[in-house]
Structure 1
């Protein structure tokens, strides 16, 4: 699947609809003008001050993804979700009562699809799917909820028998979520492509416990290879030359599974996968007695250890990696290497895509070296009314000799915080005055 665009509106700090466009070359055309790999950008880097709404944009993307996965399952269980997952823009009275808007513009093979929905306090308000079989948009279905659900079907796309089954869906569930579990529905391919194509990482919130859980989850999915892990650690110049496993502390059954001897349906439990993770050993350059346990490694090494296998899998499968705070605990050069993995077509042979948030503005200045264009650099900022806006560096006049990082810091592109040392000075002085008058403990 290739992501062309993602749009969201009335979600948290995002009031008006904003669109992250990864296919600026497509323009207003309906039919793909060229092959997907030729019109999609492999990278979108999002900059902006703290509290500008950057994370809200990625969380909107994850919410829309999770709604397809969960709305027909766990969202139907009252105890599991006592309140509906509804997060409108609350600083405007009218918006606070309106549904949130989510829309994916994407390709499967070389067919273009547009899928979206609006979700309010009581569940799904609207849901739609269109596609371009030849030159023009054709509707797959349009769903509206008033007092009773109404679905306008394309009879040549969905048979009448399937329509009858899908007409019975609850207002809290997406039609595409139900179709995900229906082998007879042509919608299943669309649903499966959407949910299987995204991986979400939040490196800024990645505690040691979460890092272990993340790596354990990867091991649990049978993507575990010690030789590859060793090479990944070497690629990042972590000082680790080999990763091994203390097999004496691992049960025989677990060893058979991770070594590929059990070719049946045997899988590791969560506890078994974490046991494997905790018993990894790291041999560093430096001669004898240079083997360390997981708990002895640095924060940067652990971040790379838990991220690198997912990065590799994304590149191999041609999927989409969404990362909040890519620069958390990772060196500047390592971040540049990750970006290059996506912009270099000899590495990224399956056209995987990377969407990430960062504060590392040197990326802007080294755009050419990283094979990034102005269309791949995005900014978010928040107005005085608390509304987040999204815009691209391509929206500004181009200068052949522009020092982009300098221009950004000079506020020519906006999306910078207005910091006040005066407030901190006043707070510090206030404490000093209290001390002088004996008002402190």
Structure 2
């Protein structure tokens, strides 16, 4: 399970920011899961967190940074040879940040209950630092300490990594040591590489939707077929089933079955389905895969093209230990404050699951938990958020946009 993610100098995240799934001390968190660690202790972890904020506040950049970290682990050794430098996106609004390294670090718990901390810093031309720590008995063990500024770049405290000298010698300056080790299927480090490979899948409303539709279509031909059809039908979209048709070119196309009042069943062409239906369908395959494997899923703009009740049901799915028995996790962004509350006035999310983003006057994003605002136990989070009590809302006064348009039009008329 993912415990924490820290990042600095990536897109609008100039200063170090942290996103945590760990339940804050002394918080009553009904949604939390107890995760048993290898030393016999437990840690309380949320199955999901939501990041809320105004448009362009940087909430999507948090998920993008997590994805960039994953891509670096998976691709730095095999694919970065073709780059003149290191592909990264530093904070671009001041010259100092452009010349500084970008920082990434995660804490996570493996299937065996061992907690790991792994991180690195990327410069323009080389990996500036890389480190790996484990906590098998509750105390930190250092496995890797890489620092490109030292004469001896790689250090292996405790000499725990097998074949370390050869791996260090063959790791390029612009590649991660972990990525290099995984190409040899290293018996100790490949399990960490696989954690990145099997987690941090990003879904956003624009990119790769066609690919996700295709993935869900493939799942309709396998063991997840009944669950996909059930989720389509209970979503009240008038859908009673799905049919997969083979095209002349060998690819497959899905046709959703709609039942009319007369009882007649019609298979609509995919192009006739609404954007909302297609968005829901495209989410189902990745979501069910995450639930079945206990993976960490990242969804940018969960409420985009979905009714708020659909988005709320996704939250409930990840909260329910019977539906989510393998401890899958979800990190999502949203600008819809109605997702903070249920229609009956209760809370859909615990306060510790809510994170907020706000930009300062220099364009840098501040990521902070709702618990920092100390909301009351009975406080209506939606109303307080809309009232600006927690920050992270657009700084627009009622009617301001219309007045500005009117002023511009009047200046245009004077100049014509």
Taking structure 2 as the reference length, the TM-score comes to 0.89
**CA 1:18–1:288 in 2, change beyond 3 Å: closer, same or farther?**
same
Equivalent of 2:134 in 128, 131, 134: 131
Distance 2:219 2:86 in 1: 31
Cα deviation digits, residues 199-257 of structure 1 (max 9, x gap): 11002x25xxx43222224556897454443222113221110101235x46xxxxxxx
Corresponding residue number in structure 2 for 1:379: 356
Cα deviation digits, residues 38-74 of structure 1 (max 9, x gap): 5110010110011111111111000000000111111
Distance 2:6 2:256 in 1: 44
Aligned residue pairs, count: 401
Equivalent of 2:272 in 296, 307, 311: 296
Distance 2:175 2:165 in 1: 16
After TM superposition, the structure 1 = structure 2 runs for residues 111-130 of structure 1, keeping only pairs within 5 Å, are: 111-130=114-133
Contact 2:101/2:122 (<8 A) preserved: yes
Distance 1:238 1:394 in 2: 37
Corresponding residue number in structure 1 for 2:30: none
Corresponding residue number in structure 1 for 2:108: 106
User: Aligned to 1:7, what secondary structure does the other structure show?
Assistant: strand
After TM superposition, the structure 1 = structure 2 runs for residues 42-191 of structure 1, keeping only pairs within 5 Å, are: 42-77=47-82, 81=83, 84-108=86-110, 109-146=112-149, 150-159=153-162, 161-191=163-193
**CA 1:158–1:222 in 2, change beyond 3 Å: closer, same or farther?**
farther
1:402 is displaced (CA, Å) by 1.1
User: Aligned to 2:183, what secondary structure does the other structure show?
Assistant: coil
Distance 1:300 1:45 in 2: 21
**Structure 2 segments unaligned to the other structure (5+ residues):** 27-36
Corresponding residue number in structure 2 for 1:253: none
1:299 is displaced (CA, Å) by 0.7
User: Aligned to 1:402, what secondary structure does the other structure show?
Assistant: coil
Contact 2:217/2:244 (<8 A) preserved: no
Contact 2:301/2:333 (<8 A) preserved: yes
1:296 is displaced (CA, Å) by 0.6
Distance 1:381 1:195 in 2: 31
Corresponding residue number in structure 2 for 1:216: 214
Cα deviation digits, residues 346-394 of structure 1 (max 9, x gap): 1111111010001111122339856531110110000112111111111
User: Aligned to 1:237, what secondary structure does the other structure show?
Assistant: coil
Distance 2:134 2:412 in 1: 68
Q: Considering only aligned residues, what root-mean-square deviation do their CA atoms show, in Å?
A: 2.6
Distance 2:40 2:314 in 1: 27
Contact 1:52/1:382 (<8 A) preserved: yes
Contact 1:365/1:403 (<8 A) preserved: yes
Corresponding residue number in structure 2 for 1:13: 12
1:403 is displaced (CA, Å) by 1.8
Contact 2:154/2:168 (<8 A) preserved: no
Corresponding residue number in structure 2 for 1:283: 258
Corresponding residue number in structure 2 for 1:268: none
Distance 1:434 1:408 in 2: 37
After TM superposition, the structure 1 = structure 2 runs for residues 222-241 of structure 1, keeping only pairs within 5 Å, are: 224=222, 225-241=224-240
**Structure 1 segments unaligned to the other structure (5+ residues):** 251-270
Distance 2:272 2:372 in 1: 47
Cα deviation digits, residues 94-121 of structure 1 (max 9, x gap): 2221100000100112100000000011
